[in-house]
Every structure is written in structure tokens, then in C-alpha cells.
Structure 1
Amino acid sequence: MARRRILITGASAGIGAALARVYAENGWDLILTARREAALDALATEISGRHGVDVAVIAADLADVEAPRRLVEAIAARGLVVDGLINNAGFSRTTGFLATDPAQHAAMVQVMLSAPVALSRRLLPGMVERGFGRIINVASLAGQMPATGGDTLYGPIKSFLIKASQGLWLETRGTGVHVTALCPGYTLTEFHDVNGSREQVSSAYPAWMWQTADHVARVAHAACEADRPRVTPGVMNNVLAALGKLLPDTVALNMVAGHARRLKRI
């Protein structure tokens, strides 16, 4: 039987690259997409050489509303079948709602909310028809907590991904398709370098609160294979998620406001 193949967005670094390595280790062929084609090519060479799997690279900018359609069409033109989808591409802006260019907010919504919906809608029917599929939507611990000032849209977008994943999990039960929302906390990637908060988060939180991308990827793979609708790696992250639900709104909001002040976001 031919190997399964999974499409991973935002695969050029961080959790996306770690997920690519973990899935290749488990015998999956890959389709890697992100904006940085050179980084994707380097990762593809590394993974194919180490694991002997086939790795296709298709550069795409998911901030373009037409990118999901073009990406799926490019995959079909190569004669490739997508058995799994990891919606990982994302970024944040921590300069505050009013100080952030509206075009950047629109790009955040497109990349992290609209594109996962579009890709899932285009690829899920084939998975259901074939009786097998895997979808991981990379959300965040932030999606389980009250939204913070400064990165005002990030948490709400991740909350959407969690709820959408749960809905898809319910709809696809019994079809052979597993859907999981991955909700990592602080993870050692270039994410905070890109949004300019590396110095603040590194000084605000102790080393034991941070997880590696490899650990997060392995937790995600295991949870999706077990058909868990949501997984939050790390005991402390689960404690924080529970507190976010149990505390009164005023207390929880003051708690995250203190977090935002430590990071100089508000």
C-alpha cells in the first residue's frame, strides 16, 4: 500500500518543521508549504535523506485569499493525494490593536482563520470518501485563556480554531478521519523573534515553562492518532487552561493584563 501523505502549512521552521520530521519518522510522505522556499527545500533535503520519504515543496503565501485554492490545484496537478492536513501557518502582532496596520490584522485573519477553513473544506471530502484522514489545527494555549491586550486578535483566532476543530471532530466521527486542535504554550521557536517579543518573554518566564517544538510535535501526532479533539502539551499549560475557565472574568482578565504588562504590550 502506498504511504500516506500529509500537507503541512508554515512548515519552514518551528512547530511546522518539527511536525514534518515527526510525520516523516512515522512513514508519511510530505507536502511542505510556506513563503520561504529556500528553507523548505533545505528541510525537504534533510528529511528525505534521513527517512527516505518523498517530500514535495510548494511555496505559497496564505495571506493571499486565493492561495488555498491554488495550493490544492498545484497538489492535484502533481497527481498527489492528501491524506492529512496540518494547519500550522501563523504569526502575531504585539504592538496593540490601534497601532497595528489594518492590513496586518487582515493577514492574520486570512492566514490563521480563513485559510485553515478553506483548506479543510477542499481536502476533507476526499479524506471522508477514502475512509481515512488526519487534520491537526495548530491553535494555542492563548485560545483557552482570556484574550490579552497588545496581541488583541491572536487569542480569539486561536479560540476559533479550537471550536472549529471540535465541530469537525463531531462531524467526522466514524468516517476514519481524526481532527485535533493542538494548543501549545510557550515553545522554543523563532515565533517570538518574528513578532519582536523574544527579550520580554524570555525574561518574564522561567525555562521550565518552555517546551521544545519536537516535544509539542510528538504530543500532537500521538493525540491525533488517538482521535483526541484537543490536546494541550504540558501539565502547567493544562493548569493555566483550567484556571482560565474557572476564574471569574474580572480576575482572569486582570491576570492576563498583568501578563501583557510584563511583555510591555499594554
Structure 2
Amino acid sequence: MKEHMADWRIHALAFVLTVIAEFIGTKKFSFGPLSFSLFPMLYVLILGAILGIAKMIPQKMMTEASPYIGISVMMLTAKIASTIGPNLGAVVKAGPALILQEFGNLGTAVLALPIAVFVFHMGRAAIGTSFSISRESSLAVVADKYGLDSDEGIGVMGGYITGTVFGTMFNGIFVSLLCSLNIFHPYALGMACGTGSASMLSASLAAVVEAYPDMEAEITAYAATSNMLSSVDGLYMSLFIALPMCEFMYRLFTKNNRHYKDGLPIGAKVKVKAAGEE
């Protein structure tokens, strides 16, 4: 307890930023049949980034704040899970579909990694940002295997932050478009909402519920269950299939590639580890 109380500045700053973001509230934008929402989580991220760029948050505080991500994600997951119970019967019927949709995670590796290597000549950060859609469980996998301060960690954090900033707007607009086309069942749209991170889930789910207000409870249940299962089976899918596949593809793509040497982009800075560090 004494150790955690020493981080009181982190908790105080998080509290202040949260209060500011909640006062701003959720802002909805509509352009004809398309709509999207901006949520308080996005405001906190932007405010924190501004304070970091302005050097108002010491690097030491940023480092000490990293372990709290896991605690926050745990509480968020528990809150989302509480919406599943009332509609458990309907969810069980769609069980196989909810599980099989996780194979869609492999699409990020197949599509994104070649672009990262052949177009942008990225280093191993390409693995972290391409092996999944960079949701909360992806952070945990990379943090455990490589560390969030590694190139892979930088990649997955970049993907997570990009998804939080732009994913909410993209999901809100894209899902609104899909709803207007009437080619997918509302339950399918709800399931798709749950594959993203918490901010993506909130933005896309709001668009689906707005299109089908009379099915709000069922759609929310499917989305919440999908989000939970994506955290569980998605973690194993990422750890045992997607991540090894990205490692193999990265080695294959960088071998005999004139832009790379020893698996790293030519001219890239190599991190020198401190003495005694593994």
C-alpha cells in the first residue's frame, strides 16, 4: 500500500483528467444517415498527449503509470460482462459464430504486415501493430512476451492509440453506413461491435442501437459477449497463432530485402541494453 500511495500524483492526475472529460461528455455528430460519437475516453487521451508533449508530465511518472493499465482493463472487462446474464439464452444460440469470428483477427496480419514492411519499411514494431487489432488483450500479450518498451510494444501501443483516436469515428461512420444498407442482421452487427477495444465498442454499438432501438437489449448482449470472448479466445488466438505467424512473415519478408539488414531497417537505431539486463 505504501508503494502505491507513493504514486499519488498519477492517481490525482488521472482523476482530474477524468472529471474534465466527463464534464465535456459524449458528443454526437450526424451527417445525413451517417453518425459517430466522441467519448470521454478520447478526451482523456488527447489531454494526456498534450501534457506529455508539453513536458508537463515527467517520463518517470509515465513509466510508473504503465502497470495500472492492466488494473483498469480488468475493471472494464467486469463491467462489460455484467450485461451478458439477462440475455444469456439468446447468446448461447450464437455461440459458434461468436467464437469463429475471432479468426478474422488473422486478417490484420495478412493485410497490414506486408504493407508495413514493403511500403513503410517498418522494423519489429510492425509485428506489434499487425498481429491483431490492438485491443486490451493484445497489450497484455505483447507486454508479457516483449515488454511495452520494446519495438513490438511501441507497435501495439501505436495501434491501440490510433484505434482509440480514429477508430471511434471510423467505426461510428462505417457501422452507420452498414445499418443503412440493411444487408446484415442487427445481431451480426452487434457481434462485430464487440471485436474492437472499449472505445470502438462504444462508438459502433451506439450507431447500431440508434438504428434498431427496439432491439437494444439483445444487440448490447451480443456485443458485450463478443467483446468478452474476443478478450478470452482472442488472447490465445493472438498468442499461439497470430503472433507466431507475424514473426514468420516478418522474417520471410525482411530476408534478402534491400531495405533491411539482420531483420532491421537499414539505418535503424539498435537499442543497447544496460549491463546485467536480459
Whose RCO is larger (CA < 8 A, sep 6+)?
Answer: 2
**TM-score, normalisation: structure 2:** 0.27
Whose helix proportion is higher, 1 or 2?
2
Greater CA radius of gyration, 1 or 2?
Answer: 2
Q: Higher strand share goes to which structure? A: 1
